[in-house]
């Protein structure tokens, strides 16, 4: 009975979905800790650069989990590879900041520099494709 419950496709989809959403919330909270601004406060104020950068992070994380779900048979493996992918995206965030010594990415995004917000979105999404391909 228990095995047939967990092998039901609808149950598996709900489990993957639930875990991915929980991980997304956790990972966004971690990103909130490493940025110098408060994502949701800035978005509420209409800061489009922050919205684009945050949207890129959401898309990046979701893309990593998409591929993790496709490539792994167990919920535990999916979580493990999803966490690994998130760590890689977080490292990419710090590399992006490091490679732009002429200005601070966080400060530009906080000041609603939409060009920086857009490139941040693109970098997050592009790196997620690279990470996801390895998963």
> Nearest to residue 119, comparing CAs of 28, 70, 63, 52?
52
Residue 113: DSSP 8-state: -
Q: What is the pLDDT of residue 12?
A: 86
Q: Give 88's contacts (C-beta < 8 A, 6+ positions apart).
A: 127, 131
- For the CA atoms of 58, 64, 66, 68, what is the dihedral angle to 10 degrees? -150
Number of domains in the chain: 1
Residues in contact with 127: Cβ distance below 8 Å, sequence separation at least 6, in sequence order = 60, 88, 89, 92
Write down the pLDDT at residue 6. 65
Question: Which structural domain range is residue 110 located in?
Answer: 2-134
The beta-strand segments (E) located in the chain are: none
pLDDT in tens, the chain (135 residues): 556 776 788 988 898 999 999 999 999 999 999 998 999 999 999 999 999 999 999 999 999 999 999 998 788 998 999 999 999 999 998 898 888 888 899 999 999 999 999 999 999 999 999 999 998
């Amino acid at each position: 009975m228990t095995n047939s419950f967990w092998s039901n496709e609808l149950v598996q989809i709900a489990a993957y979905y639930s875990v991915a959403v929980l991980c997304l919330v956790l990972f966004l909270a971690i990103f909130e800790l490493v940025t110098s601004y408060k994502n949701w406060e800035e978005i509420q104020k209409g800061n489009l650069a922050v919205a684009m950068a945050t949207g890129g992070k959401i898309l990046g994380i979701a893309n990593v989990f998409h591929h993790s779900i496709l490539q792994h048979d167990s919920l535990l493996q999916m979580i493990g590879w999803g966490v690994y992918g998130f760590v890689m995206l977080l490292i990419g965030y710090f590399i992006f900041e490091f490679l732009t010594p002429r200005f601070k990415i966080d400060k530009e995004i906080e000041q609603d520099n939409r060009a920086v917000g857009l490139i941040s979105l693109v970098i997050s999404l592009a790196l997620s494709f690279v990470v996801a391909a390895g998963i």
